[in-house]
A and B are shown apart, each in its own frame.
Chain A
Amino acid sequence: MEKFTTFTGIAAPLERSNVDTDQIIPAVYLKRVTKTGFEDALFAGWRQDPEFVLNRAPFQGASVLVAGPDFGTGSSREHAVWALRDFGFRAVLSSRFGDIFRGNSSKQGLLAAQVEEADIAKVWAAIEANPGVEVTINLEERSVRVSDLTVGFSIDDYTRWRLMEGLDDIALTLRNEHKITEFEARRQSWRPQTLPVK
């Protein structure tokens, strides 16, 4: 996973609340068996509208999405994160995220930065005043800078550390493999087993 420390890119405003993962990537695009190549699927329904923000200059090249509250709710599909990543996004700013989406983001190096709702409005205003303006995200400082404005964001320490180090979760867990084996040795016999088939 690519390390994330600071990042600068064009910010696109998505002035909608409750952007669920069905909107981020409709189910029809979930039939693929690959983990990349989902850029065409991102917001596929909304992108049919030529006025949709990501269809308009200068936002086609955006890499930071600034969204309304409750971004990434609904389905667990990690494809939503893959689609954002494949389109070129490295960060999403929102005042609230769906829990599963937030977790999925951190596995792919996509920063889900929780920004106060009032600050989101300020960032939107800064983008509106200067469309195509770049924002700089500093993960170490937990800050977002756009034009003269700097706002903070929340992210838990563990996710921040993993993003900054670009660490693979599975390798981290397997450092404790002996403890998993010990746990399994004391697992009660009544607990479910799928095999043998009964």
Chain B
Amino acid sequence: MTEQIAVDVRPRTLAEKVWDDHVVVRGEDGNPDLIYIDLHLVHEVTSPQAFDGLRLAGRPLRRVDLTIATEDHNTPTLNIDRQIADPTSRIQIETLRTNAAEFGVRLHSLGDKEQGIVHVVGPQLGLTMPGITVVCGDSHTSTHGAFGAMAFGIGTSEVEHVMATQTLPLKPFKTMAIRVEGELRPGVTAKDIILAVIAKIGTGGGQGYVLEFCGSAIRSLSMEGRMTICNMSIEAGARAGMVAPDEVTFEYVRGRDHAPTGADWDEAVAYWKTLPTDEGAVFDAEVFLDATDLEPFVTWGTNPGQGVLLSEPVPHPAEMSDPNERAAAERALEYMGLIAGTPMKDIPVDTVFLGSCTNSRIEDLRAAAEVVRGKKKADNVRMLVVPGSARVRLEAEAEGLDQIFQDFGAEWRFAGCSMCLGMNPDQLAPGERCASTSNRNFEGRQGKGGRTHLVSPLVAAATAIRGTLSSPWDLQNDASQGITHDAQDTSTAEREAAL
């Protein structure tokens, strides 16, 4: 053998395979690759200026058949049959409707059964699938990586670029493996895994990387759990998070409205099975987390990396060696109104928010409903339950979850982003404290002066029962001491009164 034909047999990661299969033009001399975009998700907040740009330049929207829009950030979760009260929100929604009609984009408006948070809608329609590229003018587009797709948030200029060209010029990301091994204890969830990962690598730890979540703990998660994890990859600074597709993925996609069928399905699955990272592929960085040790995790500060185990106290800034970290912690404690050393479990909350693109899917609602079923909400707490989409809401109602939440004392709302960022009327008042299943605890995120603790749906539910940051484990402890938190059984009371 004198000469070898150049065949790329180098072992590759999942991210590299998906990337390679979307290169339209390979960049040379440090120029970016031109990457084809399979699916463009659009919502009302980051699109008006992009549509305007197309109009000004006289450009058409290249592939309306790869584009889908929904209304989510501004939509009210009460009285959705009435005109939107806030005129600026109303104008933004109306602008999307006008733009979608003008350019021929499929739109699911408020009141439509497919309306909802853009990252809930894509997967439930079967549009999100392994091996594709997904973009949206929203940083939580990373959610779709749970399917083994390359999915990332973009800015409005890039939204316009995708509308005009169905491509993006991008430099390859570096790859980071996040290996999570072991079996989660009951009461510990995907949300606790990702909060622990962010606390470990920091809010900047993933910058420039695509994270691939792997290991036995990830493999045993449902698609909903994987979406929760990939959703918050951006909170670790990463553009995208991915999980290799497997039978769990295929079963989730199969039969959905836009899932491939017949020969297309067989071809797709055969291809999807080639996507997992090859034996011997090298990541630019690797991180390990033991899931066996994990406990429910909560944030105490004003960025998602400022988190601890629920069983721990608020940390002492003085013990932090990095001066920036120390200064940020001091500032965060002041904003959050917390004193170092206070047990996290002693912190009372005013509001519990169950919702957002992180944790508003049917499985999240089921898990929380199971905790609060037959219980009574703490008097000091209001609880909002906001399904991720109209379809999730209908599904939950068919299962009776709405009744469980309402009997518990929670408010059962219509679908949207809601209190995750408070662009609609669902906001915290200044100084109010919230246990939230959302993704960001930034200053003022849920309302000016509002204080956010990021938690799992199980912790949210237990907190709503006990009134202080709590997990289902605390409910078990209470039960062993004879404290049940049960709702008063009126039928029994009535029977006794009648006797």
Q: Which residues of A approach B to under 8 Å, CB–CB?
A: 16-18, 20, 22-23, 26-28, 30-35, 45, 68-70, 73-79, 81, 96-100, 103-104, 107-108, 156-158, 169-170, 172-174, 176-177, 179-180, 183-184, 187-195, 197-198
Q: Do the beta carbons of B164 and A170 come within 8 Å of each other? A: yes
Q: How far is the CA of A144 from the CA of B208 in the complex (A)?
A: 24
What does the 1/0 interface line of B250-268 toward A look like (CB < 8 Å)? 0000000110100011011
Residues from 105 to 139 in B contacting A, C-beta threshold 8 Å? 106, 126-129, 132, 137-139
B311 contacts the other chain (Cβ, under 8 Å)?
A: no
Q: Kindly state whether residue B421 has any CB partner on chain A within 8 Å.
A: yes
How far apart sit A79 and B132, CA to CA, in the bound complex (Å)? 28
Q: Which residue of A lies closest to B322 (CB)?
A: A17
**Interface check B422, CB cutoff 8 A:** yes
A-side contacts of B25, CB under 8 Å: 176, 179
Interface contact B156-A78, CB-CB below 8 Å: yes
| Inter-subunit contact A107/B38 (CB<8 Å) | no
A–B complex contacts, Cβ < 8 Å, 21 sampled? A16-B328, A17-B327, A18-B303, A20-B440, A22-B421, A27-B421, A31-B423, A33-B48, A33-B49, A33-B92, A76-B46, A76-B153, A77-B46, A169-B169, A170-B59, A179-B24, A180-B24, A188-B267, A190-B268, A192-B38, A194-B127
- A74: contacting residue among B126, B132, B207, B442, CB under 8 A: B442
* Residues of chain A with a CB closer than 8 A to B303's CB: 18, 20, 73
* Partner of B31 from A32, A45, A158, A192 at Cβ < 8 Å: A158
Q: B448 within 8 Å of A by Cβ?
A: yes
Pick from B66, B91, B137, B324: contact of A17, CB below 8 A. B324
Question: Which residue from chain B places its CB closest to the CB of A171 in the assembled complex?
Answer: B57
Closest Cβ of chain A to B110, distance in Å, is: 15
Residues of chain B with a CB closer than 8 A to A191's CB: 38, 129, 132
Question: Which residues, 254 to 301 on B, are CB-close (under 8 Å) to A?
Answer: 257-258, 260, 264-265, 267-268, 271
Inter-chain CA distance A105–B86, complex, in Å, is 30
Q: Is the CB of B164 within 8 A of A174?
A: yes
How near does chain B come to A173, taking the closest CB pair, in angstroms? 5
Distance in angstroms from A54 CB to nearest chain B CB is: 16
User: Which residues of A sit under 8 angstroms from B264, Cβ to Cβ?
Assistant: 188-190
Residue of A nearest to B99 (CB): A33
B157 touches A18 (CB 8 A): no
> B residues within 8 A CB of A172?
169
Contact check: which of B36, B45, B442 meets A180 at CB < 8 Å? B36
> Which residue in chain B gives the minimum CB-CB distance to A80?
B155
Name the contact of A31 in the complex, choosing from B31, B38, B74, B129 (C-beta under 8 A): B74
B165 and A180 contact, CB distance less than 8 A? yes
**With a CB–CB cut-off of 8 A, which chain A residues contact B238?**
99
Q: Is the CB of B237 within 8 A of A68?
A: no
Of B39, B59, B204, B271, the most chain A CB neighbours within 10 A belong to B204
Q: B residues engaging A (CB < 8 A)? A: 24-25, 27, 30-32, 34, 36, 38-39, 45-46, 48-49, 52, 57, 59, 63-68, 73-74, 86, 88-89, 91-92, 95, 106, 126-129, 132, 137-139, 141, 153-158, 160-161, 164-167, 169, 171, 203-204, 207-208, 234-235, 237-239, 257-258, 260, 264-265, 267-268, 271, 303, 324-325, 327-328, 331, 421-423, 440, 442-445, 448
Q: By the criterion CB–CB under 8 Å, are B171 and A158 in contact?
A: yes
Contact B45 A30 (CB under 8 A): yes
Minimum CB distance partner of A73 in chain B: B203
Give bound CA distance, A103 to B57, whole Å. 22
Across the two chains, which residue of chain A brings its CB closest to B32? A158
Q: Which residue of B88, B95, B331, B448 contacts A45 across the interface (Cβ within 8 Å)?
A: B448
- Shortest beta-carbon distance from B107 to chain A in Å: 10
How long is the Cα–Cα vector from A170 to B163 in the complex, in angstroms?
A: 10
A165 to chain B, nearest CB (A): 13
**Contact, CB under 8 Å: A18 / B203:** yes
Return the contact of B169 from the options A18, A33, A100, A173 (Cβ within 8 A): A173
Determine the distance from Cα of A175 to Cα of B138 in the docked complex, in whole angstroms. 27
Provide the residues of chain B in CB contact with A68, threshold 8 Å: 324
Contacting pair A20 B30 (CB below 8 A) = no
- If A190-B265, A190-B267, A192-B38 touch, whether A75 touches B204 (CB-CB below 8 Å) is no
Assembled-state Cα–Cα distance A198/B68 (Å): 13
B89 & A31 in contact (Cβ 8 Å cutoff): yes
In chain B, what residue has the closest Cβ to A105? B155
Q: Which of B86, B207, B208 has the most CB of A within 10 A?
A: B207
Partner of B39, one of A23, A70, A173, A192: A192
B32 in contact with A45 (CB, 8 Å): no
Choice from B106, B158, B204 contacting A107 with Cβ under 8 Å: B158
* Contact, CB under 8 Å: A169 / B444: no
| Chain B minimum-CB-distance residue to A183 | B24
